[in-house]
Amino acid sequence: MPRKKEPMRKIKEVLRLAFLDALSERQIARGANMKKTTVHLYLQRAKQASISWSDVESLDDKEIERLLFPREETTDSRKPPPDWQHVHKELRRKHVTLQLLWEEYRDDHPTGYGYSRFCELYRRFAGTVEVSMRQTHIAGDQVFIDYSGDGVEVINSQTGEVRVAEVFVGVLGASSYTYADAIWSQKTPDWIGSQVRMLEFFDGVPAAIVPDNLKAAVTKSCYYDPDINPTYQSFAEHYGVAILPARAARPKDKAKVESGVLLVQRWILARLRNRTFFSLAEVNEAIAVLLKDLNNRPFKNMPGSRASYFEQLDKPALRPLPPQPFECPTWKKATVNIDYHVSFENHFYSVPYQLVKQQVDLRVTSTIVEVIAHGRRVAVHPRRDHPYGYSTIAEHMPEAHRWRGEWDPVRLVKWGQKHGEHIAKLFEVIMGEKTHPQQGFRACLGIMRLSGKVGDERLDAACRRALEIGGRSFRCVRTILEQGQESAPPPTEQTSLSFTHENVRGADYYRSLAVEDTNALASDH
């Protein structure tokens, strides 16, 4: 008797054993109690249709059968076929659904296919296009980013050292328009720099960026609520873009960029394999030329190219770039000194005096220094390179009658007079040479602390020596003490101990300041 026909209900089991368990045809036939030739037929059909397990996982056996064994359309069919390429392309536009496209199709062809048959035929068509084009992505919605894994060798022309540059890849969802560049590392500044250049390449901003779970993007990986790197979060806020990290071990979340990486490796990196590069700029120039060819290369099973789809779909949907590109900042914590300044690279920047002794965050770029307290920006300064200088905003200073800090100019001078006349005189000189006396507090307090280490007598002698040689800083006094020069003979032309200078206000000035302060407080009350 002839053997019965194999039941189609086993077709999904065959695909599961092949794709997930990676069993051989013989093993599958034995496990499913089927003929090996039938198993071979199913797998061959799946290969021809470019079907993977993710494509059929949610389908039943009948739906899978229709994908693998489509019924041939009869030549005398009276039902006009839809333009599937147009349907596939339109689905990438915002808010467009198969239901809407079917209704438009029926408006033009009242005797055309019903909705269920329309959807079935579309899924069959979608299974024949390129893998990277199967998923439906909304125009301007997402860009998928990752590293190639394969780098480019760059030779140092002076030392002969060979260094491998990383290759960054970004792919827009709807059009598959691709960007790539070479950078030195996967660290945060390089990682963000590539994305800044990518958005400039696209000349617009998508709604979301989908990165992998690397440390430059995600500080703490979590299935439900990943922690975004603070610098990367600042980048996202600057461009108004959402960061949606791909889930760990879920390649389908970023299948678009996986395909884009493969194309970059085959059509760009493979063509550069025999070239010698001596700088990163040379590599990126070569990548830019080949990238243009890649984006203009026609699709195999679709009309047009990545570049043409980008112009029609993604580009009109992208939001405009901000006026200035993002600069990758350096973050540092600092404590506000009693002179209401914070230090970065030995330059001092003012903050509102109410923040004295509080800890703040400094966000520093190549051009600005931002001070952030309690999640709010409280000060912005142009970045200065000269050390031990001051950048002071007048609004950050307290009014004279509102100064109730632990120290003020009068108290500092009085402390100096109590511990040594030369200490007081040096304090007057230090504060007198500043635009604002408060800018000299830090140096005066540093000199005060030296008293506890060396005693008043040595400190007063060191301050006398500093005045003699024109010293005006804490470092000068500390150096004199460290080298034991406080007892050295005075210079040939000894500076008068009475010391006069047009910028030295003198004790009378600070006494008058205290009187004005008292009168101002009295008038307020």
Mean pLDDT of 88-112: 79
The pLDDT, as a whole number, for residue 226 is: 47
Please, which pLDDT band fits residue 134 given cuts at 50, 70 and 90? very low
What residues have CB less than 8 Å from 217, skipping those under 6 apart? Answer: 191, 211, 228, 229, 232, 243, 245
For residue 382, give the 3-state DSSP assignment: strand
CA-wise closest residue to 25 among 9, 8, 48, 41: 41
Report whether pLDDT(181) > 90: yes
Please, which pLDDT band fits residue 470 given cuts at 50, 70 and 90? confident
The pLDDT, as a whole number, for residue 442 is: 80
The pLDDT, as a whole number, for residue 9 is: 61
Lowest-confidence pick of 48-62, 214-228, 264-278, 428-442: 214-228
CA distances from 9 to 32, 62, 121, 286, 425 (A): 11, 8, 21, 53, 99
Place of tokens 């009693």: 338
Percent of the chain scored above 70 by pLDDT? 80
Lowest-confidence pick of 40-54, 70-84, 211-225, 420-434: 211-225
The pLDDT, as a whole number, for residue 333 is: 92
| Cα 118 to Cα 110: distance, rounded to the nearest angstrom | 13
For 5-56, how does the pLDDT look when each residue is reduced to its tens digit (9 = 90+)? 445 567 888 888 888 878 888 888 887 788 888 888 888 888 888 888 877 8
- Beta strands 142-147 and 227-228 are unpaired
Please, which pLDDT band fits residue 177 given cuts at 50, 70 and 90? very high
Domain residue limits, the chain: 8-45+52-57, 70-128, 142-317, 330-397, 401-524
Please, which pLDDT band fits residue 489 given cuts at 50, 70 and 90? confident
The pLDDT, as a whole number, for residue 266 is: 84
Beta strand extents in 226-356 (DSSP E only): 227-228, 242-243, 330-335, 341-344, 347-350
CA-wise closest residue to 429 among 493, 489, 504: 504
Tell me if 441 sits within 8 A of 339, measured CB to CB. yes
The pLDDT, as a whole number, for residue 467 is: 92
Mean pLDDT of 345-368: 90
What residues have CB less than 8 Å from 238, skipping those under 6 apart? Answer: 322, 326
> Between helices 421-432 and 456-469, what is the axis angle to 10°?
50
Report whether pLDDT(128) > 60: yes
The pLDDT, as a whole number, for residue 223 is: 42
Homologous superfamily of domain range 142-317: Ribonuclease H-like superfamily/Ribonuclease H (3.30.420.10)
Q: How many residues does the chain have?
A: 525
Mean pLDDT of 95-106: 81
Q: What are phi and psi of 470, to 5 degrees?
A: 85, 20
Helix (H) or strand (E) holding 133: helix 131-134
- What's the token pair of residue 138? 């909304």
The rounded mean pLDDT for the chain is 80
| Cα 371 to Cα 87: distance, rounded to the nearest angstrom | 52
CA distances from 174 to 46, 294, 300, 308, 313 (A): 25, 16, 17, 12, 7
The pLDDT, as a whole number, for residue 497 is: 43
For 365-394, how does the pLDDT look when each residue is reduced to its tens digit (9 = 90+)? 878 999 999 989 999 999 887 777 888 888
